[in-house]
Amino acid sequence: MQNVINKSGIISNVSAKCDFITDDIIDKSVREVIELMVQTLIDDGRIEVRGFGSFCLHHREARIGRNPKTGENITIPAKAIPHFKPGKALREAVNDWQ
């Protein structure tokens, strides 16, 4: 069974542990942190959270591909792919948990 947590799950978990902060403030804070991370990546920046990991963009060059249905050559445009590299503490915590 796979556990999934989404943005609203993060908000509700933080809210349950921080009863001295209103749910509205927690909601706005979580959304602002996520927006800041997105904007940093849009600006081709790097996000580092010590003990957790880092986010950056991997840039792929434009290339020629092939349409598998027709065999026709097509141009695949350049793009940036978000990449996450886990930190040492996260890797160790995940491996120790099993």
Identify whether residues 2 and 26 lie together within a single domain: yes
Beta strand 79-86 with 53-60: parallel, antiparallel or unpaired? antiparallel
Residue 48 lies in a domain: no
What is the reported pLDDT for 19?
84
Domain CATH number, residue 82: 4.10.520.10
Q: Assess contact for 30 and 7: CB atoms under 8 A.
A: yes
Identify whether residues 12 and 38 lie together within a single domain: yes
Residue 50 lies in a domain: no
Identify whether residues 1 and 30 lie together within a single domain: yes
Whole-model pTM: value is: 0.79
Q: How many domains does the chain have?
A: 2
| Tens digit of each residue's pLDDT, the chain (98 residues) | 578 999 999 999 999 998 889 989 999 999 999 999 999 999 999 999 999 999 999 999 999 999 999 999 999 999 999 999 999 999 999 998 76
Identify whether residues 61 and 36 lie together within a single domain: no
Domain boundaries, position 80: 56-98
Classified as helix, coil or strand, 30 is helix
Residue 91 lies in a domain: yes
